[in-house]
Structure 1
Amino acid sequence: MNLRNTQLLDEFRALALTRDIPAADVEKWLELVRPFASLTADGDGPVVGRFGGPIMLPADASEPWCPLIATIDCAAVPKEATDLPLPPDGKLLLFGYPDHEVGGSAAYVPAGIAVEEHHPPSWIGDEADEETLEILREFPLGDIHLSLGGCLPSDGLVPAPPPVYVAPMPGYPHSEVLAEMWKDLWEYPTLMLGGYGRSHDFDPVRDAAGQASFLASEELGLPHDPDAVPSGMEDWVLLAQCCIYRAPGADIFWMIRRGDLAERRFDQVQVLVDYNP
């Protein structure tokens, strides 16, 4: 964990104690810290990939529908950077666009596999309109620099039955206040691997698990309770999050089941977008 992030966590602890939150509750909350890899176009950390650039995939790979946001050299990302079972080598490609109707995808190219350049789809190429081009100009470009850190949840509420609809996280009576404090204190990087997702409107991991649970129930002809904790939610993790300016700001989230990640089933990634036009 880099020094700046360690100092930030210490600052968070001190600030929480000034809010009359019991020290034991603050320390219990800090136990939720998860490691993440901060990936930015600036900084002095090692280069672990590239923002933008050519789309290099196997010849028989499906053509991506979204812009390439980043190509990450998995071998350059230390194992301790996250608590995810990331591939030890090869390239991870993240595609996305900050629009609810477009979303994104992820692709993994194992080390040693032959690749060739694929062309971007026409709607972001020769046929792109001015609004699309303006958004694409906000996408990061250039080398990706890595730094390591730890982050806390920025969503401290969970769904609850009516009439309250939301409640603090079980076992964490001050979760709403603590999560808001962290959200105000920490500036999310351009791109991050692992950690907790930040959204103004929803918990991306819960939503991904909920969508998967709904589809499974529908396939089996079973009723689905949207307010219940999604079945198998504990299996879902945030693979990556990208923050793109698109005023007033947009976030793209890539979620996956931990088991699918371990088995390199990146076609199982779910992509959500948080954007308020």
Structure 2
Amino acid sequence: MTPETRDALRPFHDEAIARGIPEDDVERWLGTARPCLALAQCGADGDAGGGPVVGRFGGPLLLPADVPDPAHPFVASIDLAALPADASGLPLPPDGHLLFFAFPELRSSYESEGSVVYVPAGTAVTERDRNAWNSLDFDDEAAMFEAFPQGPLRALPGVSLPYHHSVDIPEEPWSEPLPGHPRAEELAEVWEDTHDAIAPASSFRIGGYACDEGVYTDPIGIAALRAGQAAEAGWGDGPVSGDVSDWVLLADWYAGMDVQGWESATVHWAIQREDLAAWRFHRVFTSVFWNP
């Protein structure tokens, strides 16, 4: 951990110690810290607020001619060359664009609820119909998409600790603390109470740990489980690992912060580490938590 990261996490450390959590437990938890990027909307005047503009919510949908129309609504486009170097903690391509798509509602037991398209730098693109995903012209879904946020995004480097504190087990009590962290629940509560003073607030993040309203186990574990079920059912793109340690959060979108009527909805774009290293973004699996 860098001195800068330790300094940033000082409010968490001090609060955990004040609550009587032993120093050794706090230090082990701090050792799980991951860098992340908060992508915040620019103000109405376009002010980047100290962080570089790295993409935008919405806007025109620009895709290579050989990429099919995505099956989910267009959320955001990120200019990889504009991202602060190494700030996400992920081995992302150095340039080009990542386009994120998602439907912020669980509709299938197997299929991914979104996708990611990587457009390498210099690739010829054409503008597509942003409403092509809604081929049946459902009015309520069209209204939901019209409520998606629009406008430039600025990048603010941050740090992330786990929001979850348990792993599932096959017998009662059905869950137990994260291995090696007997005070995990208390530490996750401290993070919940202190992260606003540490990490920039935003509805869209790249890297770090996944979070949703019902979190106590890692949401990426749900993505890994559902991706495995999809592969077994023939819906996926080849076999996948069911081990959550083989997966990483590519991005989170707290859609409930931006889309009225979808309060609590959170989208998680997860990818296997080996797929990320090889830039196989078509292998991203998108899971959604929504408690209407």
The normalised TM-score by structure 2 is 0.82
Following superposition, the deviation at residue 191 of structure 1 comes to: 0.8
1:164-183 aligned at under 5 Å gives the runs 164-183=173-192
Tell me if structure 1 keeps the 8 A contact 2:76–2:99: yes
Structure 2: runs of 5+ lacking an equivalent: 43-48, 235-240
Tell me if structure 1 keeps the 8 A contact 2:69–2:132: no
Mapped to 2, the partners of 1:123 and 1:209 lie a distance apart of 25
The match for 1:224 is none
Tell me if structure 1 keeps the 8 A contact 2:52–2:154: yes
Alignment partner of 1:117 is 2:132: no
One of 258, 270, 273 as aligned partner of 2:273: 258
1:190-201 aligned at under 5 Å gives the runs 190-201=203-214
> Could you say if the C-alpha distance between residues 237 and 25 of structure 1 is closer, same or farther in structure 2, counting changes exceeding 3 Å?
same
The match for 2:237 is none
Tell me if structure 1 keeps the 8 A contact 2:116–2:282: yes
Mapped to 1, the partners of 2:36 and 2:268 lie a distance apart of 14
> Could you say if the C-alpha distance between residues 6 and 44 of structure 1 is closer, same or farther in structure 2, counting changes exceeding 3 Å?
farther
The match for 2:15 is 15
Q: Secondary structure of the residue that 1:13 maps to in structure 2? A: helix
One of 133, 136, 144 as aligned partner of 2:145: 136
**What is the count of residue pairs matched by the alignment?**
265
Mapped to 1, the partners of 2:252 and 2:230 lie a distance apart of 24
Structure 1: runs of 5+ lacking an equivalent: 220-229
Following superposition, the deviation at residue 133 of structure 1 comes to: 4.6
Tell me if structure 1 keeps the 8 A contact 2:134–2:142: yes
Following superposition, the deviation at residue 106 of structure 1 comes to: 0.5
> Could you say if the C-alpha distance between residues 265 and 142 of structure 1 is closer, same or farther in structure 2, counting changes exceeding 3 Å?
same
Mapped to 1, the partners of 2:115 and 2:233 lie a distance apart of 23
Following superposition, the deviation at residue 217 of structure 1 comes to: 6.5
Following superposition, the deviation at residue 125 of structure 1 comes to: 8.5
CA RMSD of aligned residues (A): 2.6
Higher mean alpha-carbon deviation, 189-198 vs 36-45, is at 36-45
The match for 1:68 is 74
Could you tell me which amino acid in structure 1 is paired with residue 53 of structure 2?
A: V
Could you tell me which amino acid in structure 2 is paired with residue 20 of structure 1?
A: G
The match for 1:276 is 291
Could you tell me which amino acid in structure 1 is paired with residue 9 of structure 2?
A: L
The match for 1:79 is 85
Tell me if structure 1 keeps the 8 A contact 2:70–2:133: no
User: 1:211-256 CA deviation, whole Å, 9 max, x = no partner?
Assistant: 344456678xxxxxxxxxx744322100000111244321111000
> Could you say if the C-alpha distance between residues 235 and 150 of structure 1 is closer, same or farther in structure 2, counting changes exceeding 3 Å?
same
The match for 1:204 is 219
Alignment partner of 1:148 is 2:157: yes
Following superposition, the deviation at residue 264 of structure 1 comes to: 1.7
1:98-117 aligned at under 5 Å gives the runs 98-101=104-107, 103-117=113-127
User: 1:69-115 CA deviation, whole Å, 9 max, x = no partner?
Assistant: 11101111133112211011111000112111172110000111100
> Could you say if the C-alpha distance between residues 30 and 134 of structure 1 is closer, same or farther in structure 2, counting changes exceeding 3 Å?
same
Mapped to 1, the partners of 2:83 and 2:161 lie a distance apart of 21
Give the fraction of aligned pairs with identical amino acids, expressed as a percent.
41
The normalised TM-score by structure 1 is 0.86
> Could you say if the C-alpha distance between residues 153 and 232 of structure 1 is closer, same or farther in structure 2, counting changes exceeding 3 Å?
same
Could you tell me which amino acid in structure 2 is paired with residue 154 of structure 1?
A: Y
